[in-house]
Amino acid sequence: MRYLLLFSLFLSTNGLFAQMTPTYDDILIPMRDGLFLEADIYIPAGVDSAEVVLIQTPYNKDFYIWSLPMGVGMNVDTQPFIWVIVDWRGFYGSLPAAIAQPNRGEDGYDVCEWITEQLWHKDRIGTWGPSALGGVQYNLARENHPNHTCAVPLVAHAHQSYDAYFYGGVLEKARLEQLDALGYGLSPVILANTYYSSVWQFSESSTWFAPDIKIPTLQIGGWYDHNIDKMMDVYASSRTDAGAAVLDQQWLLVGPWVHGGSGAAYVGSAIQGELSYANAEFKSDTMAWDFLQYYLLDTPNNWQNTDFITYYETGLDQWATSNATSIESPTTDVLYLNASNQLVSGNAIGSTTFVSDPSNPSPTIGGATLNSALDQGPYDQISLESRNDIITFSTGELSQDVTVSGRITIDIYVESDQEDCDISVRLVDVYPDNRNMLITDGIARMRFRNGYTQADETFMSPGNVYTRQIELPFTNFTWLAGHKIKIYIGGNNASRYDVNLQNGGTMYTASDTNVANITVHHNALYPSSITLPGSNSFLGSDDLENIRLGVYPNPAKETLKIDTDLTLENIKIIDLSGRIIQTHEVSLESIEIGNLKSGVYLIRVSDGIRTIERRFVKL
């Protein structure tokens, strides 16, 4: 949103846009410490008094002269609310009020007190805003101002937790850099506390706001937003721990949206990354508008009968509702990593090795990012398959739809020739046209496999196998029949996440880097697996087209062995450009590949009826 407003500002300087004039401009609102916050007020023409929508922003209130949110645009006079937009203490117009440790909740309370004293205010105040503008609403809610009637936080949760910055123990570097660029200055504090400690315990306990909610809320999130995992927990808690009088007045809307702030995609837009969701456009605006009208104006719009959770079933591309506290599936299905890049319901076979080079990390391609240099949302990951630092595992083509709702986990058995490494996982939907569209991703640092305190830190020894669980953020997704479930496994995801130097030394310091050879084991002794929250019992049956085709060793140097139930009629080796390199018209148990150049290839086998492909790496 911030960047769209900047673009509008640029166009306006060239005479392409007009601007609004606030009814009251740069008003100084007194705080309890004698300092002032600066605000703009927009009052519809001919209105003597009205209810207020309050927005508290660190991104410059002046941007709203180009457009008010929720579809109002410049049409202030044709809507019923008075808009009060305030710069945060220490930002833009409120810069002179900067102090070392501001209490945003108390500042919001004092703004509400000032509003209630104005002749143009009736008696109710609703709040709205995304990201930081959403998080600050929880701070205000804790103060329990008698006129704060309802809140609409978007893509926000306000919980300052260790895992919000160190996902799986890995710093989300690009997001922290973006927050610094926006003026928050968090890096010194975050990088001084890279282990879980009493500092994080205090931060987490003091910023868990769900029990402090005493007003109705409409919490709005996006499946491609980095905050969605924590938001799902905050919402579930608000349904059980909020004030007793409002337990049945907590709503959640989750769409197929990114966080916003970079590029054309934002909460409520149709285009998200490389996909488009026309039936999700403006849903966040229309529901927020109905919510605010109901609670601020007593509009008889039947809002009280709205189901508690409205969520977009990504993949099916349709809306669904629920009155449960959570839409997480209580049951799970398990698939095992297998030889030749398979996800199967049966026994795991073999192991697969890849290289992780910190000087050439695998790149971030979309996802739940927050940085102006990175794309946001669903993007095709297929280009990663030409690298030697990525391995993939996928099902065959699905004969039925597969739906998941909740947190997907990957339990992986890892061996490395270095003391430390990261394991990144990207979950994709493979389309029939071979697009590999990102759904969600996660990462975990091996030194933290026993916990995140400094005392928990344990390094790896060559020759030993270690287990690590990577939990992916809460998601709701359906793979359609004819598609494939697929995971990409690597050692990094840069520049979204910090790149592990793999030397076992101090984290987040300049130092030498070590190349790691990482082996993922997937056999009877070490059965690496992925657990899907859902009820897709057919995944354990032949309906998955789960035909056994093992290709090993992988990577291979001279000989590639084939293990399959099929009676083969032909075998083809194909490079990534689609060129056929070798053809064998007989059934073989092994193929000589010593003459191939190093790189990534496909082996395609057929029994005359069915054709199956597997990926392998030639050393």
Examine the domain organization and report whether 529 and 555 are in the same domain.
no
pLDDT of residue 16: 46
Which residues face 591 on adjacent strands? 560
Residues 463, 359 share a domain: yes
**Number of neighbours of residue 177 by Cβ within 10 angstroms:** 17
Mapped onto helix, strand or coil, the DSSP state of residue 232 is helix
Distance CA 608, CA 471 (A): 40
pLDDT at 544: 37
How distant, in Å, are the alpha carbons of 156, 229, 605 from that of 351?
41, 31, 21
| Domain co-membership, 408 together with 535 | yes
* Residue 246 and residue 342 in one domain: no
Residue 199 falls inside a structural domain: no
Within a domain: 618: yes
Task: Say if residue 400 is in the same domain as residue 489.
Answer: yes
The per-residue DSSP string of 289-344 comes to HHHHHHHHH---S-GGGS-SEEEEEBTTTEEEEE-SS----S-EEEEEEEGGGEEE
Mark whether 291 and 420 lie in a shared domain: no
On whether both 368 and 469 belong to a single domain, the answer is: yes
Closest residue by Cα to residue 367 from 504, 234, 275: 275
Q: Are residues 419 and 518 in the same domain?
A: yes
- Asked if residue 168 is part of any domain, the answer here is no
Q: Encoding tokens for residue 92?
A: 């833009």
Residue 204 lies in a domain: no
CATH number at residue 245: 3.40.50.1820
What's the rounded Cα separation, in Å, for the pair 412 and 520?
7
In a domain, 433, yes or no: yes
Q: Where are the beta strands (DSSP E) in 360-421?
A: 390-394, 402-406, 409-416
Is residue 179 in some structural domain? Answer: no
> Residue 85: its pLDDT value, please?
98
Give the other-Cβ count within 10 Å of 431's Cβ.
15
Q: 281 and 238 in one domain?
A: yes
Q: Any alpha helices (H) in 182-323, and if so which ranges?
A: 187-191, 198-206, 228-241, 283-297
Closest among 582, 367, 344, 601 to 486, alpha carbons compared: 344
In this structure, the answer to whether residues 540 and 561 fall within a common structural domain is: no
Residue tagged 């285009």 (tokens): 271
Q: Where a domain ends, among 518, 546, 574? A: 546
CA separation for the pair 224, 377 (Å, rounded): 5
What's this model's pTM, rounded to 2 decimal places? 0.87
| pLDDT beneath 70: ranges in the chain | 1-17, 540-548, 576-578, 608-611
pLDDT at 135: 98
Domain-ending residue, one of 546, 561, 589? 546
Residue at 197 is within a domain: no
Residue 543 confidence (pLDDT): 37
Residue 148 covered by a domain: yes
In Å, what is the CA distance from 530 to each residue of 283, 297, 364, 475, 494?
33, 49, 22, 15, 23
Residues 380 and 311 in one domain: no
**Number of structural domains the chain divides into:** 3
299-327 burial by CB neighbour count: b if 16+ within 10 A, else e? eeeebeebebbbbbbbbebeeeeeeebbb
Instruction: Using DSSP, state whether 614 is helix, strand or coil.
Output: strand
My answer on whether 294 and 350 are in the same domain is no
Domain boundary among 506, 529, 546: 546
The pLDDT assigned to 578 comes to 63
Domain limits at 597?
Answer: 547-619
Burial class (CB in 10 A: 0-12, 13-18, 19+), 461: exposed
Quickly count: other Cβ atoms within 10 Å of residue 401's Cβ: 15
CATH code of the domain covering residue 466: 2.60.120.260
